[in-house]
Amino acid sequence: MREDADFHDYQELEGALRQYNALGSSRPLAARRALVAMARFEAAHCPTVRAMRQTYQIALRLQRGEELFQEEG
């Protein structure tokens, strides 16, 4: 689970850096925007410590075969 999440972060970083390098000095403002967009996207999608803990707890419960919730009624 962790490996997949980190892998996608690296793909996003690599894509932004490639775009930055492709735009280079010919379009410096657009190149800068590629880096800013990547940083803003990562910041918006970065899980909090609480969210990460909840994700790991859910994965552990699923691995143990526990129920995640019970329907009422």
**Residue 15 lies inside a defined structural domain of this protein:** yes
**Residue 18 lies inside a defined structural domain of this protein:** yes
**Residue 39 lies inside a defined structural domain of this protein:** yes
**Residue 52 lies inside a defined structural domain of this protein:** yes
Q: Residue 1: is its pLDDT beyond 80? A: no
Compute φ and ψ for 46, nearest 5 degrees: -80, 120
List the domain range (segments joined by +) for residue 26.
2-61
Q: Which residue has the higher pLDDT, 69 or 27?
A: 27
**Residue 10 lies inside a defined structural domain of this protein:** yes
Q: pLDDT grade, residue 48 (50/70/90)?
A: confident
**Residue 67 lies inside a defined structural domain of this protein:** no
Ramachandran sector of residue 44 (left: φ over 0; alpha: ψ -120 to 50; beta: rest): alpha
**Residue 70 lies inside a defined structural domain of this protein:** no
User: What is the pTM for the complete model shown?
Assistant: 0.55
The pLDDT of residue 21 is 94
> Could you give the number of structural domains in the chain?
1
**Residue 28 lies inside a defined structural domain of this protein:** yes
